[in-house]
Amino acid sequence: MKVIRSSREMYELSARWKKTAQVISLVPTMGCLHEGHLSLIRHAREVSDKIIVSLFVNPIQFGQNEDFDSYPDQFERDSGLIEAEGSDALFYPPPEEMYTENFQTSVKVKTLSQGMCGIDRPDHFGGVATVVTKLFNITSPDIAVFGKKDFQQLIIIKRLVKDLSYNIEIIGAPIVREKDGLAMSSRNVYLDSAGRKCALCLYQAIQASKKISHSRDELSAEQIIEETKKIVTQAGGQLEYAVVVNEFTLVPDNFVNNNSVLALAVKIGDSVRLIDNSKLRS
Ligand code: PAF
């Protein structure tokens, strides 16, 4: 596997692969990899000839009081895992390669970035959209694979691809969970044992909500949100938001239907913030 640090070298490699009509997939990551990321690489392997994994902890998607400075750096471990999954290239740019001095352009996907995680993280999705646009330009993939755990991010990237006329297919790969249901996340490493127990409330709220959704024909979103609040609060978590929204548009549903997704963000203890989501009737 080639480890590439410069954009120029990355363009050139991708262009060489394109000349022989090879299908290229990109799997963007910020490192600190877990089984969820590895599943994205496996998805990419199934649909492409060449895989590029990017590893870049993107400073502009972190808010001021967030964990950019403490975000785990595990390059040796991560690159070993990426290579073992059969990636052909690892794009690992230094920050100055991505954000040159006096960088001043940003990509914003307006309305979709405002609700849900965008309420407490107002600049987050602008940072994601900007770096993903750059990664698309540098790697020129035919396909890009993102995890469904970052549900709002996935919908925003799909919109960005349409709006900016990229010829890239976006694949959303299923959430990978621990045995007890906790969605895999790089931030799970911050949980102590009490926090780990409490963190299960996200999955418990999802399971309870799915059960009610299947058992009743007419069910208001409000009932699901109340149930979620109750489960999270009883477990000792702080509910940041719980919404029932359309799986394609993120528009809130008043009543649960076949396209409704429950998405939630919960603060565990003082500093760990976890998200999860699921379709309610599936
Ligand atoms: O999902 C992530 O890990 C990041 O938001 C991404 C897509 C790699 C952009 O930095």
Q: What is the CATH number of the domain that holds 71?
A: 3.40.50.620
Residue of minimum CA distance from atom 5 in ligand 1: 128
172: left (phi over 0), alpha (psi -120 to 50) or beta: beta
Q: Residue 156 above 90 pLDDT?
A: yes
Give me the pLDDT at residue 254, please.
98
Residue 178 in domain: no
One domain, residues 43 and 169: yes
One domain, residues 209 and 274: yes
Q: Which residues contact 30 (CB under 8 A, 6 or more apart)?
A: 55, 56, 57, 58, 71, 186
**Minimum-distance ligand 1 atom for the alpha carbon of 135:** 9
One domain, residues 135 and 239: no
8 Å CB contact between 153 and 58: no
Q: Tell me, what amino acid is at 200?
A: L
**Minimum-distance ligand 1 atom for the alpha carbon of 186:** 3
Which residues of 77-192 form beta strands (DSSP E)?
89-91, 143-147, 169-173
One domain, residues 158 and 190: no
Per-residue confidence band for 5, with pLDDT thresholds at 50, 70 and 90: very high
One domain, residues 168 and 195: no
Instruction: Tell me whether strands 260-268 and 238-246 are parallel, antiparallel or unpaired.
Output: antiparallel
Tens of pLDDT, residue by residue over 169-214, are 999 999 999 999 999 999 999 999 999 999 999 999 999 999 999 9
One domain, residues 167 and 195: no
Q: Residue 161 above 90 pLDDT?
A: yes
Q: How far apart are CA 253 and CA 11, in angstroms?
A: 43
**Mean pLDDT along residues 257-274:** 97
Average pLDDT, the chain: 97
What is the CA(225)–ligand 1 centre distance, in A?
27
What is the CA(199)–ligand 1 centre distance, in A?
22
Among residues 140, 173, 206, the one where a domain terminates is 173
Q: Enumerate residues lining ligand 1, CB below 6 A.
A: 28-30, 58, 61, 128, 131-132, 150, 153
**Mean pLDDT along residues 119-148:** 98
**CATH code for the domain of 237:** 3.30.1300.10
Rounded to the nearest 10 degrees, the angle between the axes of helix 193-215 and helix 221-235 is 160
Q: How far apart are CA 156 and CA 105, in angstroms?
A: 18
Residue of minimum CA distance from atom 9 in ligand 1: 128
One domain, residues 109 and 230: no
Per-residue confidence band for 71, with pLDDT thresholds at 50, 70 and 90: very high
pLDDT above 90 as % of the chain: 99
Count up the domains in the chain and report the number: 2
Residue of minimum CA distance from atom 1 in ligand 1: 29
One domain, residues 50 and 94: yes
**Minimum-distance ligand 1 atom for the alpha carbon of 61:** 10
Annotated catalytic residue, options 37, 43, 124, 214: 37
**Mean pLDDT along residues 80-106:** 97
One domain, residues 144 and 193: no
**Mean pLDDT along residues 15-44:** 97
8 Å CB contact between 201 and 235: yes
Q: How far apart are CA 38 and CA 42, in angstroms?
A: 6
Mutation choice for ligand 1 from 30, 37, 176, CB with most ligand atoms inside 8 A: 30
Residue 181 in domain: no
**Mean pLDDT along residues 100-128:** 97
One domain, residues 17 and 156: yes
8 Å CB contact between 171 and 202: no
**Minimum-distance ligand 1 atom for the alpha carbon of 54:** 8
Question: b vs e for 167-183, b when ≥16 Cβ sit within 10 Å of the residue's Cβ?
Answer: ebebbbbebbebeeebb
Among residues 173, 206, 225, the one where a domain terminates is 173
**Mean pLDDT along residues 24-36:** 98
What is the CA(57)–ligand 1 centre distance, in A?
8
Give me the pLDDT at residue 282, please.
81
Q: Residue 215 above 90 pLDDT?
A: yes
One domain, residues 22 and 78: yes
Per-residue confidence band for 140, with pLDDT thresholds at 50, 70 and 90: very high
Among residues 139, 173, 207, the one where a domain terminates is 173
What is the CA(93)–ligand 1 centre distance, in A?
14
Annotated catalytic residue 34: no
Element containing residue 55 per DSSP (H, E): strand 50-55
Domain encompassing residue 106: 2-173
